[in-house]
Structure formats: C-alpha cells, structure tokens
Amino acid sequence: MTTQEIVAKLWNLCNVLRDDGITYHEYVTELTYILFLKMLKETEREDNLPEGYRWDDLISRNGMELKDFYKELLEKLGTRCRGRIREIYSGAQSKIDEPKNLEKIIKTIDELDWFDAKEEGLGNMYEGLLEKNANEKKSGAGQYFTPRVLINVMTELIAPRPGEKCNDPACGTFGFMIAADAYVRAHTDDYSSLSMEESEFESEEAFSGCELVHDTHRLALMNAMLHDIHGPILLGDTLSDFGKQMKDYDVVLTNPPFGTKKGGERATRDDLPFATSNKQLNFLQHIYRSLNRSGHARAAVVLPDNVLFADNDGSKIREDLMDKCNVHTILRLPTGIFYAQGVKTNVLFFTRGKEDHGNTKEVWFYDLRTNMRSFGKTHPLKREDFEGFIAAYRAEDRKSVQDERWSSISREEIHAKGDSLDLGLIPDDSVLNYEDLPDPIESAEEAAESLEEAADLLRSVVQELKSLGGSHG
C-alpha cells in the first residue's frame, strides 16, 4: 500500500471511535501510541522497549484483557523507558472505553502492508496523517500545522547549512525542523558527504524546538524520531522564563500562535524589553534576540498583519528589530491559507547584524495577496504560486526585477510612516479608484455642451428639410 492509501485507511478508523466520544485530535494522539509500537517493530528497533511490552504482546490479546494490558503498557513505557520513548509516552492515557474498538484499530494497523510506506519513509506517512488532521476543521489542529508548501519555500530561501543550529520556538508538530533537516540532507547526499562527527551533530543537536501543548509535543517527538532527528524538543512556554535558555541560533523558522495571552497579561520574560500582551510581538522579540551575532544568523517567521502596524510597543519592537537586524524582505501572504480564513499573514525574512544599530537600509515587499485567486481547502496554495516571489528574492540585482508585485521602501521612508511595515500592497482591481473618476462638475458642463451641439445640429436638419419641401410645392 502507498503512503497515501495508508493515511486514508488510518484516518477512516477515527469513525470507529466516534461512539467513544473521542475528538479528531485525541484520535491522532491515541493512534500515535499504537502506531509507534508497530513502527518500532517494522524498523527493527524494539530493543528500546522492555520485554513483554512490544507489538506482538499487544496483538496477542483481545477483549477486556487487551484493554487492561494496553493501559498497563502505556504506564510502563511512560515510566520505565528512557530517552525519547519515555518522553512520547509520558503521562499517556487511553480514552478508548470499548475493547472492541481498540481491538479493531490494532488489528487493522497490523494487517496493513507496510512495505511501500517503509520505502517512502514512515515519517512521511505520519506527517500525512498530521496534515489530514490539520485539514479537518473540526479537529482544531490547523493552528499547529503550517501548509507544507509554505514551510518548504521558507526553508529553501533561508537555506540552512550543515553545522548550523536551527530552532522553532513554537514548533507544533515539528514541521519546520523536519523540512530544514530534509534540506540539509538533500545538499549533503543524505549526510554521506559529512564526517561522522558532523553527521552526529545534525542528528543529535542541529534541529530543536519548543512546544507548549503536551499532546502536540508528543506528536512532535514521534514525528522527529520517525525522521531520525534526535535534537531537543522542549515542553514549555517560550514566552516564560523557561524560554531564556533558547538562544545563540543560526536559523529560526517558525509560525508562532496567533492571539493574546489569556487574561491579557504581559509576557513573564524579564529579558524582553517591550512588555505587551500580544503573543506574536513577544515571539518576534524572542526570535531576533535568540539569533547569534555572527552576521549570518537569519530567520523566516509567519506573522499576522497587526504585527506590522501595531502602535506603541509594537512600533518600538519594529524599530528595535530593524536596528538589530536587516529586515530585507516581507512576503504579504494571501488570505485563506490557514484554518482561520480571515487572518491576513506575512513572512518576515531578516538577518541579525553583528552590531545592534542601523542594520535595515531598505525593505523589499512582495504582494502575493492582492488580485490573487481564492485559496482554501478546495484550492490549496501550490509551489507555482511562489515562483515570482522566489525569482525576485534570489535576484542578484533586486532593482532589475520587472514585477509589479515587487517593491522596496527605504528605512527613512518607513520611519516617516511611524515605523509601520504595513506596506508594499499593489492597487486592488476590485476596489473602485475614485481618483480616476472624472470630475462631476466638469462632466456636467461637457454633457451640457454636447446637448447644445446636438440641438443645434437637429435645428439645422429641420431647417434644411423645410427648405427642400418648399422647392417642390
């Protein structure tokens, strides 16, 4: 079976659990517990599990015996294992009450032909399942999942290199770091061109993240392990003092959560100088301060429009960002590409300077929003939609690019606009431009003149007809 067929089959199993009152997101988490055991068997890595608590021990039972053993297995793996397996099963609890449902899921998974999926990569299969969950509006998981094509374009343009430390401070299911790892692998012949020490660094240290939600953190851990990534994935709040340890990175790729902190309270980080309840502004402060000062440390960050124009602390944060970093490119993204349809978003690309002043000279904007086709579940964003932007971004001479969507604004002009970055949008063809309409007074005068001319013409015609009539009388 192909990866796509397995994903469809596994997703359809969620119908089995509806009577147990299990949500889509809970189903994926529950499925993770079971799938992981099967995948360890398929990849011959069951040595990491204690004797008596492996896949064959699970499928040899049924009924209440299976249900009781399954709960015991989850508890053992979450307390007696080490490393990533213990992290994945820490605090794991089953919400499946009906033994027959549990048995059906386990047997269905056991009967699947995993050969093709193993050839394509079990990690790809698992990401397909996560994407299916994200696209299901009822699951509410869209907030943890960025469209794959956008992740890939951002990663490709940031171009992480071997030996660099990459991070996502709001990693969700770890999609950005998996893309970064895939990019480095593709440019090092799957790490074979690296030394053993360099290859070990890529696997164990290069790609890291942090996630606040426990169940999503669990999905990120399994996703990383199936892609053979073993870097640290922290469980915690980046915007609390916990996040202070996350620093000195070469690359940051992320899509922080939208909204404000609950209750409107300010960030608890005392090392973020501008206090605000806006989570995106706080994440932005964390991100550019977490980059090292090598002169090459860089980031690509998805942020909503309000970050570009928010007053007071928002303006101060943007000014600080443009001082400390070269904010060289802003991509104005189309609407409808995230689970919240009305949210307008952008990608900010910037590089941290060696010094903390005057790094941004001008900002280039690409408008992928105005006069674009509608995007959504039936018309998803595709790679070809980004071709114009990619060409402009990579151009040796950006000023030579002939594209109406591509424009630049100097730092001085931006400062004159109150440090707002809500710029670079082209005229909307669907909006009437009143400046182009004729002056109503002038139009009325012209119309009157035209009527008078027509009347004169009509009178002359009538006069000519009368004279012709008289000559034949």
Encode pLDDT of 126-153 as tens digits: 888 777 777 665 444 445 468 889 999 9
177 and 79 share one domain: no
Q: What is the CATH number of the domain that holds 100?
A: 1.20.1260.30
Has residue 180 been placed in a domain?
yes
Decide if 285 is inside a domain. Answer: yes
pTM confidence score: 0.84
Q: Are residues 373 and 456 in the same domain?
A: no
Residue 73 is assigned to a structural domain of this protein: yes
pLDDT of residue 440: 58
Tally of domains in the chain: 3
Domain edge (last residue) among 127, 157, 173: 127
What is the per-residue pLDDT for 339?
55
| Segment among 61-75, 95-109, 346-360, 379-393 with least mean pLDDT | 95-109
For residue 9, what are the domain limits?
A: 3-127
174 and 317 housed in the same domain: yes
Model pLDDT, residue 131: 79
For 16-51, the pLDDT digits (tens) are 776 667 777 788 888 888 988 988 888 888 888 999
Mean pLDDT, range 392-416, rounded to an integer: 96
* Same domain assignment for residues 201 and 69: no
**Residue 340 — pLDDT band, cuts 50, 70, 90?**
low
- pLDDT at residue 54 is higher than 60: yes
Q: For the chain, what is the mean pLDDT?
A: 86
Q: Do 77 and 151 belong to one domain?
A: no
- The alpha carbon torsion through 203, 204, 205, 211 (nearest 10 deg) reads 100
Residue 221 sits in the same domain as residue 365: yes
The reply to whether 101 falls in a domain is yes
- Claim to verify: residue 363 and residue 275 sit in the same structural domain: yes
Q: Quick one: 314 and 408 in the same domain? A: yes
225 and 374 together in one domain: yes
Task: Looking at mean pLDDT, say which of 43-47, 297-301, 371-375, 435-439 comes out highest.
Answer: 297-301
How far, rounded to the nearest angstrom, does the alpha carbon of residue 146 sit from its chain's CA centroid? 3
Is 202 a domain residue? yes
Do the domain assignments include residue 157? Answer: yes
Per-residue pLDDT, averaged over 420-443, amounts to 72
Domain assignment present for 449? yes
329 with 409, same domain? yes
Across 169-194, average pLDDT: 95
Asked whether residue 424 is assigned to any structural domain, the reply reads no
Q: Do 227 and 341 fall into the same domain?
A: yes
Q: Is 221 in the same domain as 321?
A: yes
Q: What percent of the chain has pLDDT over 90?
A: 55
Instruction: Report pLDDT for 291.
Output: 98
Please give the pLDDT value at position 434: 46
Tens-digit pLDDT profile for residues 183-208: 999 999 999 999 999 999 999 999 99
